[in-house]
Amino acid sequence: MSELALTRRSRLSVPAVATGALLLGALAVGAAFGARIGALMVIGGLLGMVLYHAAFGFTAAWRVFITERRGRGLRAQMVMLAIAVLLFFPALGAGTLFGTEVSGYVAPVGVSVIFGAFLFGIGMQLGGGCASGTLFTAGGGNARMLITLLFFVVGSVIGTAHFAWWQSLPALQPVSLVQTAGVGGGIAVSLALFAAIAAFTLVMEKRRHGQLEQTPRIDAGNRRWLTGPWPLLFGAVALALLNYATLALAGRPWGVTGAFALWGAKGFEFLGGDVTGWGYWQAPGNAAALQASVWSDITTVMNVGIMVGALVAASLAGRFAPNFRIPAKSVLAAVIGGIMLGYGARLAFGCNIGAYFGGIASGSLHGWVWLIAAFAGNMLGVRLRPLFFEGEAGRQPVAKGC
């Protein structure tokens, strides 16, 4: 057999094994805990593939706009949110979707959300990714992001230890656009805000560069849909649709970081600790999750699916090649950033997925406050990056997909 044939076979073996593992895992979880949870693992796998192939990151998109005033990534996020709102609001207003009771992520706005989102924003730039970005880049073979993920979990469980104190600080009652403005009014307000943000990025980009960044041309051949890359707007549409599928199957939007807190708590208890006295774990839902199998947790199952899906995508693209030679300063940034990400997400009722994407798609005011506070944190995080990454004292390099 020729060397080329062997290379092709080895290149296909990893995604084939990973895909098989994902499907078998979905069947096993579905048999043990219900078909919906098994289906959600597959949804997670599709999310991982979309995130990887479309290089749909939040951290890099915000960094590029802050440093270069290029807004293509931010505009793609507005498209994603607009589609999500159009799909979510009618379902949330009705309270059911395809026979399943549904509810959104609507949380109070207070000191906890503002500080937590700001901290999360700094962590995005130091850790090198957001919640979804950490998962899909780690699954895609980025060894440094495994460090960020580990300390994301550590920060999350520390956040649960302090959660009750933060919630004792001043806060407004939860506000939902779906409830206060109605489905139609909420959609109109949301779309107007998305359009305003997109228009602002257009003005800033043209003012800095005189013209908009050209969208990269991507070969749309049949094989390209397996190996990537995919158009950024395709990623925006796909993520909105998959979040809608999550709403239909899980009864609530896509989330990520709740599982990190659960993993950290179970790990802490395995080492002899006890979290049951912490206010966060005394809430009925959290207490039940702590006692149950981790594989019965929807967010855990979807997170595993995301990582395996990203592994499949990276292998198909021929880019799965972990590099464990990581500079010490970069490791330190991953540790600090990971802790900030985890701690901030617990305080702010979620991350870029649960609070920003899921919160705004739910019509929650806290999602918009999270966006503003986290973006401010990113601005500070960008200024701190040169302390940890060589060559960033001047023009910031652009990292894709995280």
Kindly report, residue by residue over 296-314, the tens digit of the pLDDT.
999 999 999 999 999 999 9
Residue 327's H or E segment, with its range, is: none
pLDDT digits (tens, 9 = 90+) for 21-55: 999 999 999 999 999 999 999 999 999 999 999 99
Rounded to the nearest 10°, the torsion over CA 104, 109, 115, 118 is: 50
Evaluate whether residue 140 is within a structural domain.
yes
Q: Does 7 fall in a domain?
A: no
Q: Quote the domain boundaries for residue 345.
A: 13-214+223-387
User: What are the pLDDT digits (tens) for 97-129?
Assistant: 999 999 999 999 999 999 999 999 999 999 999
Question: Do the domain assignments include residue 228?
Answer: yes
Q: What is the dihedral of CA 77, 249, 300, 125, to 10 degrees?
A: 10
Range from 241-255, 296-310, 313-327, 348-362 carrying the lowest mean pLDDT = 313-327
Q: Evaluate if pTM is beyond 0.85.
A: yes
Q: What is the band of 402 on the pLDDT scale with cuts at 50, 70, 90? A: low
For residue 9, pLDDT beyond 60: no
- For tokens 């805990």, the residue is 33
Domain count, the chain: 1
Nearest to 364 by CA among 180, 177, 208: 177
Determine, yes or no, domain membership for 396.
no
Q: Which of 379, 381, 319 is nearest to 140 (CA)?
A: 319
Average pLDDT on 171-196 reads: 97
- Reduce the DSSP state of residue 240 to 3 states and report it: helix
Which one is predicted more confidently, 348 or 215? 348
139, 313 contact by CB (below 8 A): no
Report the alpha-carbon distance of residue 375 to residue 369 in Å, rounded. Answer: 10
Instruction: Summarize the confidence of residues 371-388 as an average pLDDT.
Output: 97
Over residues 164-181, the mean pLDDT reads 96
pLDDT exceeds 90 at position 66: yes
Q: Does any domain span residue 401?
A: no
According to DSSP, the residues that pair with 100 across neighbouring strands are 97
* Mean pLDDT, the chain, whole residue set: 92
The full length of the chain comes to 402
The answer to whether residue 398 sits within a structural domain is: no
Reduce the DSSP state of residue 81 to 3 states and report it: helix
Element (H, E) at 145: helix 143-167
Per-residue pLDDT tens for 190-238? Answer: 999 999 999 999 999 999 999 998 887 766 566 677 788 999 999 999 9
Q: How does DSSP assign 43-80, residue by residue?
A: HHHHHHHHHHHTT--SHHHHHHHHHH---HHHHHHHHH
Residue 397 has pLDDT above 50, yes or no: no
In a domain, 397, yes or no: no
Spatial CB neighbours of 191, under 8 Å, sequence gap ≥ 6: 82, 85
Task: Give percent of the chain above pLDDT 90.
Answer: 85
Confidence (pLDDT) at 322: 86
Confidence band for 89, pLDDT divided at 50, 70 and 90: very high
Q: Which residue, among 202, 174, 204, 179, has the nearest Cα to 189 in the 3D structure?
A: 179
What does the pLDDT read at residue 176?
97
Give the H or E element holding residue 149.
helix 143-167
- Is residue 402 assigned to a domain? no
**Average pLDDT of the segment spanning 147-169:** 97
What contacts 129, CB < 8 A, 6 or more positions away?
A: 57, 59, 137, 145, 148, 402
